[in-house]
Amino acid sequence: MTLAGDLLTQSAMLAAQDPRRPKQASLRRSVSTAYYSLFHLLVDDAASMLVGGSRLKAAVARSFEHAAMRVAATKVATAARRPGGNPQFEAHLRLPVSAGLQQVCDLFVELQELRHRADYDLGVKFTRVEALAAVSQAERAHRLWPRERNSHNGKAFVLASAKLLGSRG
Amino acid sequence: MYVLTQEVVAKLQRLPPGLDPAISRLDVSVQPDQNGEDILSFRVVLKGDLPETASADFGERLMRIASALRARAAQLEVPMFALVTFVHESEVRPRTSKTA
């Protein structure tokens, strides 16, 4: 099993813990881990795409930044929903963007935002359904991504995530 | 700064047709994200029986709801990312105290 797969399994276990009265710590870690499962799934693929199985892979994977990936995911999802809004970025894509890639990108942004709240915002109380929803959607993204990873737009997303696609067309 | 008018809120709170019948209520608000920028926040309150474990099928069901809500926000030209979260009505209903 890959790190991403193990993290997904772990996030599901955390969401299901303490059936009668779930602990906030478990629910928060579940949401956070669901995000990291998707993050590592994408980063591992991206690093493989860029340098294959070479010894550089770990170093390349380490260079991916959460914020840059969020920006890339937002651009791709926005191009899918409202094409024409960012012609410079869209010049790198083949429109229309598939529904599957759009969903992966939306989920990446969403899970990252939830992860931030789960890890830092003590004013928010998480519920079990919120945690189960986050994990279930991460599972869905894990299923969708393999169908998108080799597409032109999937590769454009990876390159934009690595900040290798300039804003100039 | 984008101001979410009551008219737009009312349209966003109206469920898109054909959506999951297990939606009890939809709360819409604007909240700061991790960078302090405004995001549109949908909180979908679900009713009925829900799975007790996570699954991709449950994720797909929720994703259909989230996609329809995001499409509605885009149609209304709301220029913010839409965060969609889900809770069950039993988790948000105010507790009533039982006294003898």
Distance CA B89, CA B46 (A): 6
Mean pLDDT value across chain A: 92
Using alpha carbons only, what angle is made at residue B2 by residues A167 and B7, rounded to the nearest 5 degrees?
130
pTM of the model: 0.90
**A168 pLDDT band (50/70/90 cuts)?**
low
| Top-confidence residue, B33 or A141 | A141
pLDDT at B92 over 70: yes
Tens digit of pLDDT for each residue in B17-61?
878 788 988 999 988 888 888 889 999 999 988 888 888 888 888
Q: Is B68 left (phi over 0), alpha (psi -120 to 50) or beta?
A: alpha
**B79 pLDDT band (50/70/90 cuts)?**
confident
Exposure on the CB side of residue B9, measured as CA atoms within 13 A = 11
Q: Would you say the ipTM is above 0.90?
A: no
Q: How many other C-beta atoms can be found within 10 angstroms of the C-beta atom of residue B64?
A: 14
- Asked if the Cβ–Cβ distance from A139 to B91 is below 8 Å, we say no
Count of CB pairs separated by less than 8 Å, A with B:
89
Nearest to A24 by CA among B19, A74, A32: A32
Tens digit of pLDDT for each residue in A51-67?
988 889 999 999 999 99
Smallest Cβ distance to B71: which of A81, A136, A139?
A81
- Asked if the Cβ–Cβ distance from A129 to B86 is below 8 Å, we say yes
